[in-house]
Amino acid sequence: MKRILFATDGSEYSEHAARMTGEFLDAWPEATAIVLYVTAKENYAYDLVPDVVDRYEEHLAQQIQTDVMERLFDKWQNRVQFLHLTGHPSITICEVAKKKQADLIVVGSHGRGMVDRALLGSVSQG
């Protein structure tokens, strides 16, 4: 195991997946991890003020980076890289995994039921 891709949305469900990623880093001392946060690019009415939305999204990404790197990956900071991209989350995760040659992809799941997944979708289900 050389490279782990951990995709996060900053939720408590992602926190469980982060802990699992840490366990993999402990198990494979030669492994490195990429922590990926994807901002979903949506077309809403607030696109009339894209600069404000972009600044907010960048601020949110910075908060997630600080929280994840300091609280969850502090022990492995020399082996963990944070990456923030904008796009469709499941597609972006797959593209990054391919580009970075990830051996393992770790994502959290909300534990939604079948009806919720059908109505709301799920990045972990693609």
pLDDT digit of tens for each residue in the chain (126 aa)? 899 999 998 888 889 999 999 999 999 999 999 999 999 876 555 556 677 778 888 999 999 999 999 999 999 989 999 999 999 999 999 999 999 999 999 998 764 444 444 444 445 455
- In the numeric block, which tokens belong to residue 41? 């690019």
Domain of residue 32 covers 3-109
Residue 102 placed within a domain: yes
Distance (Å, whole) CA 109 – CA 112: 8
> What residues contact residue 100 under an 8 Å CB cut-off, 6+ apart?
3, 5, 34
Total structural domains within the chain: 1
CATH of the domain at 12: 3.40.50.620
CA–CA distance, 103 with 89 (Å, rounded to integer)? 19
**Residue 62 resides in a domain:** yes
Residue-level pLDDT at 43: 56
In a domain, 68, yes or no: yes
Within a domain: 103? yes
38 located within any domain:
yes
The answer to whether residue 86 is domain-embedded is yes
